[in-house]
Amino acid sequence: MTRNLRKMYSVIGALLLVEFLAQFYTIASSAFTSVADKIANAGNSTAASTVDEIDLFGAAHAVIGVFVVPITILALIILSFGARYPRKTTIMAALLFLLWVVQFALAYVGFLGVAPIAGLHGINALVMVGLGIYLVRSNWAFWSQAHAPAQRNEIRL
């Protein structure tokens, strides 16, 4: 049972990394779409503003960030208990959730127009990705015994 939960943890962790990649993709696509629309409509005063239009990439970024990512992180926390990972793993997964809360707050500050603080949203995202990669790599349940990373507490003779 523990072995299967560890495999589930690995799969959910890999899914989280894909979600992070989707977040970078959608926000970059949203930014380029917005700039392209502004350039195309620069001389047209009757053209609808980009802000007035529905930005599908921005909406996807919001939905993934507000709903999908936190649910996935909570699943990692729950699975870390069930898989009987060390307390350090569970605490780091909980830290990832705390970083998500900060990420949400930074986005909110951005919508209030406080750009210098909101700019930390991107930096916090990179920290989340780094921690996510660490958690997935260090707890990957699909390593073969020959290729598994050496444990720190392992005694070498």
pLDDT for 49-80, tens place per residue? Answer: 545 456 899 999 999 999 999 999 999 999 99
Q: What is the pLDDT of residue 43?
A: 63
DSSP states along 98-139:
HHHHHHHHHHHHHHTT-HHHHTHHHHHHHHHHHHHHHHHHHT
Q: Is the pTM of this model over 0.85?
A: no
Query: Looking at this protein, which amino acid is placed at residue 58?
Result: G
pLDDT for 102-142, tens place per residue? Answer: 999 999 999 999 999 999 999 999 999 999 999 999 999 99
- Domain spans of the chain, in order of start: 2-38+55-138
Are 123 and 91 in contact by the 8 Å Cβ rule? The answer is no
Q: What is the pLDDT of residue 143?
A: 87
Instruction: Please tell me the least confidently modeled range out of 2-16, 36-50, 63-77, 97-111.
Output: 36-50
Are 59 and 34 in contact by the 8 Å Cβ rule? The answer is no
Q: What is the pLDDT of residue 144?
A: 78
What is the rounded average pLDDT of the residues 138-153? 73
What is the rounded average pLDDT of the residues 133-155? 77
